[in-house]
């Protein structure tokens, strides 16, 4: 009887332990649903004392305000040796302290470039230009490790780290290029990615950081991640962009591709770059990236209410990704209003002000209320 009691007790403990692990993604202890903003411009914009306001016209402190509205993740991009002095490691470290002080999650976006990186441009840092492929592998490990160590030292380790920005074509061209004449170069691309991830894991010994790979196009992402399958890359999240002016306007196709990604790769999915216009007008002399009706979705008008409806649809779509794999969204540059500063051209403006979450009077738009949902 004594041994039977011990056996039953052991089975009970094991059962409770397994239940705890199995419940990690259930309703009792769910994964966070990220309602994020890319605030990479703030390190510069703060210098100009831009008077952001709430919907009633009262002046606000931006980070406090967006947190109060439900924002729980802030994304920052990092350039190696910035051409224009912005998005440096010092900028990231300083703003990361503000993010963590507010109790918000932090997503670090490594561009592995001195300037913008995207599918059409993946230029290595100037400091790496004359390196061999083997030297680049060493450089990406050492650089990534140093950045993460410096963030750890000031208690601002990211919750998510993104290895490259919109790397559909690979990155660090031509060492890690996978487009055009380099379509058989996946082994070099994955070697570089793996070295960067190894650096993250070597610093984050408690395994708290989740690693994300970022593709710009929901429609084509399945091909990209299929190509990665044989290499068993140690990553956790599929990051995606969605801009209707560049990508599909077929919302059924968009949804089906998201669901196919989740079912095929069994990875969490974060819509890490999204935006939508609240108007087709402009507030400066800079040409905007969206300026005509044919760049928008017929389901959502380019109005304040249409912008809100778009974000509500997107949130619901991500939440409905199979197997609880939809973990959130991140609105790109909601704060990049028209202003005078180093990021502006000679016309002093922003090409994005009609896609911000603040109107031309710098008052918060209705779409911000979407962050408080769910």
Kindly report, residue by residue over 102-160, the tens digit of the pLDDT.
999 999 999 999 999 999 999 999 999 999 999 999 999 999 999 999 999 999 999 99
Contacts of 113 (CB under 8 A, 6+ apart): 79, 80, 121, 122, 123, 124, 125, 165, 171
User: Is residue 22 domain-resident?
Assistant: no
pLDDT tens, N- to C-terminus, the chain (374 residues): 433 433 333 333 333 333 333 333 444 447 899 999 999 999 999 988 999 999 999 999 999 999 999 999 999 999 999 988 899 999 999 999 999 999 999 999 999 999 999 999 999 999 999 999 999 999 999 999 999 999 999 999 999 999 999 999 999 999 999 999 999 999 999 999 999 999 999 999 999 999 999 999 999 999 999 999 999 999 999 999 999 999 999 999 999 999 999 999 999 999 999 999 999 999 988 889 899 999 999 999 999 999 999 999 999 999 999 999 999 999 999 999 997 655 543 345 799 999 999 999 999 999 999 999 76
User: Is residue 26 domain-resident?
Assistant: no
User: Is residue 191 domain-resident?
Assistant: yes
For residue 326, the surrounding DSSP H or E stretch is strand 326-332
Catalytic site includes residue 44: no
Determine the Cα–Cα distance for residues 119 and 182; give it in Å rounded to an integer.
14
User: Is residue 20 domain-resident?
Assistant: no
What is the CATH number for 198?
Answer: 3.20.20.80
Whole-Å CA distances, 222 to 17, 249, 260, 343: 36, 18, 8, 34
User: Is residue 356 domain-resident?
Assistant: yes
CB neighbour burial string for 263-282, b if at least 16 within 10 angstroms, e if fewer: eebebbbbbbbbbbbbbbeb
User: Is residue 225 domain-resident?
Assistant: yes
Q: Which domain holds residue 111?
A: 33-372
Active-site annotation holder among 44, 195, 273, 353? 273
User: Is residue 11 domain-resident?
Assistant: no
Segments of 223-323 assigned E as strands: 237-242, 268-274
Catalytic site includes residue 273: yes
Active-site annotation holder among 44, 166, 195, 353? 166
Number of domains in the chain: 1
* pLDDT at residue 342 in the model: 56
User: Is residue 2 domain-resident?
Assistant: no
Whole-Å CA distances, 97 to 150, 234, 258, 321, 332: 12, 28, 33, 32, 20
């Amino acid at each position: 009887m004594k041994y039977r009691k011990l056996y039953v007790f052991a089975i009970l403990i094991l059962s409770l332990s397994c239940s705890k692990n199995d419940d990690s993604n259930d309703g009792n202890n769910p994964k966070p649903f990220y309602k994020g903003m890319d605030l990479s411009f703030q390190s510069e914009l703060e210098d100009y004392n831009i008077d952001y306001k709430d919907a009633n016209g009262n002046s606000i402190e931006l980070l406090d305000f967006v947190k109060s509205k439900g924002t729980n993740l802030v994304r920052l991009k990092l350039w190696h040796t910035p051409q224009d002095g912005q998005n440096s490691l010092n900028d990231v470290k300083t703003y990361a302290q503000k993010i963590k002080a507010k109790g918000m999650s932090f997503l670090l976006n490594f561009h592995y470039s001195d300037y913008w990186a995207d599918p059409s441009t993946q230029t290595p840092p100037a400091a790496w230009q004359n390196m061999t492929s083997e030297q680049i592998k060493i450089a990406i490990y050492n650089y990534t490790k140093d950045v993460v160590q410096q963030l750890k030292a000031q208690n601002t380790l990211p919750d998510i780290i993104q290895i490259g920005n919109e790397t559909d074509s690979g990155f660090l061209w031509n060492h890690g290029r996978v487009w055009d004449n380099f379509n058989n170069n996946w082994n070099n691309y994955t070697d570089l990615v793996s070295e960067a991830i190894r650096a993250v894991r070597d610093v984050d010994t408690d395994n708290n950081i989740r690693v994300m790979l970022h593709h710009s196009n929901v429609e084509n992402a399945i091909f990209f991640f299929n190509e990665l399958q044989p290499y068993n890359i140690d990553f956790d999240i599929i990051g995606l962009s969605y801009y209707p002016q560049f990508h599909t306007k077929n919302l059924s196709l968009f949804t089906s591709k998201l669901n196919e990604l989740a079912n095929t790769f069994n990875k969490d999915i974060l819509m890490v770059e999204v935006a939508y216009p609240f108007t087709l007008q402009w507030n400066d002399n800079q040409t905007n990236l969206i300026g005509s009706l044919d760049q928008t979705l017929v389901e959502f008008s380019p109005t304040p209410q249409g912008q809100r409806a778009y974000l509500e649809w997107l949130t619901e779509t991500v939440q409905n990704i199979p197997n609880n794999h939809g973990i959130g969204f991140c609105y790109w540059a909601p704060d990049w209003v028209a202003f005078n500063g180093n990021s502006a051209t000679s016309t002093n403006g922003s090409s994005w002000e009609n896609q911000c979450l603040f109107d031309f009077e710098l008052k918060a738009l209705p779409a911000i209320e979407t962050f408080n949902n769910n």
